[in-house]
Amino acid sequence: MVQTKTFMFGVDHLSFVDDTYEVYGVDDPQNCTITLTGEVAEHRGGRQNDIRATAFHSRQAKVSIGTGYCDVELAKLFSGGSITSLGTSAASVTTGTATGINTLYGTSATIISACTSVTINSPTLAKTTDYYIKATDYSKIQVTRLEDGKVFSEVTLSGSSTANDLDSDRGIVLYTGGNVASLTPNEKCYVSVRSAINSINRKLQINSINASKLSIQATVDHDGYRRTMNVPIARANGSIFGNSATEFQLQDVEFTIENSTALSELCDIVIQG
């Protein structure tokens, strides 16, 4: 029998179908590998206890896919949970005001009385993060930026309607009221600042909603041939979350394949050309 020239390289397309028949595609598939394993039972006998017969059982099938593109919908598909759209308006930035000062620690709320508002003077420099404000003395505060833990120099508050730097890097200032000398030391508050939202503002919440079973199809076109791998039923064992200091981080997700009763198969591979 002559071996046909069906050498394949890479993967061109990778798509998923969920239990409501929604179709999802992966923009940059890196790999798609189906692995079949099982246990081999041995029957031995004779003087040398040689293997006389073998039986293959307890078969296990898995498929592993890789991608460097972390879409919110794709992440939900693999890990479950729910997606919340937070809107794309930038009201908190265009009006120049961050959300109010909120007490974290302490009951007297003297920082809120002393600090009347937080204003964003440079909306293009603003980044979404929180600022933790601590009263270090009766008229002094210290600010820490949450995103990178940067601690700003201690600020002495003075006078009503006075502008004080909250984040000098990004043009965010804090205005004081009349109680600037009546702070409670060690009291803590926070302020939330949000950058302008241009296209996307969504949150994936990992909660009690489990990931659904999926159908998977991987296709590669090479040298005039097309090979398609189909997996009727699979469940993801992971997610595509993660950040890395490397230039690109590829995430691999493994799926457990179930035997499809309707098709009486684990998977199929079709070669056309």
| Residue 243 predicted with pLDDT over 50 | yes
The pLDDT assigned to 114 comes to 83
pLDDT > 90: percent of the chain = 31
Mean pLDDT of 56-72: 85
| Residue 214 predicted with pLDDT over 50 | yes
Closest CA to 212 of 15, 80, 66, 25: 80
Average pLDDT of the chain to the nearest whole number: 84
| Residue pLDDT, tens place only, 93-123 | 445 566 678 788 887 888 888 887 888 888 7
The pLDDT assigned to 183 comes to 85
Q: pTM value?
A: 0.72
- Determine the Cα–Cα distance for residues 176 and 157; give it in Å rounded to an integer: 7
| Residue 21 predicted with pLDDT over 50 | yes
Tokens of 220: 């590669």
In terms of pLDDT, which residue wins out, 197 or 133? 133
Mean pLDDT of 68-81: 82
17: pLDDT confidence band, cut at 50, 70 and 90? very high
- Determine the Cα–Cα distance for residues 34 and 118; give it in Å rounded to an integer: 55
The pLDDT assigned to 2 comes to 59
Closest CA to 133 of 108, 152, 107: 152
- Determine the Cα–Cα distance for residues 212 and 166; give it in Å rounded to an integer: 45
The pLDDT assigned to 6 comes to 67
127: pLDDT confidence band, cut at 50, 70 and 90? confident
In terms of pLDDT, which residue wins out, 70 or 182? 182
Query: DSSP string spanning 17-73?
Result: E-TT--EEE-SSEEEEEEEEEEEEEEEEETTTTEEEEEEEEEEEEEEEEEES---HH
| Residue 256 predicted with pLDDT over 90 | yes
Helices (H), the chain: 72-79, 91-94, 110-114
Mean pLDDT of 222-249: 82
| Residue pLDDT, tens place only, 163-189 | 888 898 888 888 887 777 788 889 898
Domain ranges of the chain: 13-85+203-272, 91-193
The amino acid at residue 270 is V
Closest CA to 120 of 189, 193, 55: 193
26: pLDDT confidence band, cut at 50, 70 and 90? confident
Closest CA to 202 of 84, 66, 65: 84
The amino acid at residue 14 is L
Lowest mean pLDDT among 41-50, 199-208, 213-222: 199-208
Measured between its terminal Cα atoms, the distance across the chain in Å is: 18
The pLDDT assigned to 255 comes to 93
Q: Which residues contact 152 (CB under 8 A, 6 or more apart)?
A: 142, 143, 144, 145, 165, 166, 167, 168
The pLDDT assigned to 92 comes to 53
Q: Which whole-number Å values give the CA distances from 235 to 32, 214, 253, 259, in the listed order?
A: 15, 6, 10, 12
Position of tokens 């009486």? 264
The pLDDT assigned to 98 comes to 66
54: pLDDT confidence band, cut at 50, 70 and 90? very high
| Residue 146 predicted with pLDDT over 50 | yes
Position of tokens 């950040």? 243
Q: Which whole-number Å values give the CA distances from 234 to 5, 185, 209, 254, in the listed order?
A: 30, 57, 17, 9
The pLDDT assigned to 91 comes to 47
The pLDDT assigned to 248 comes to 67
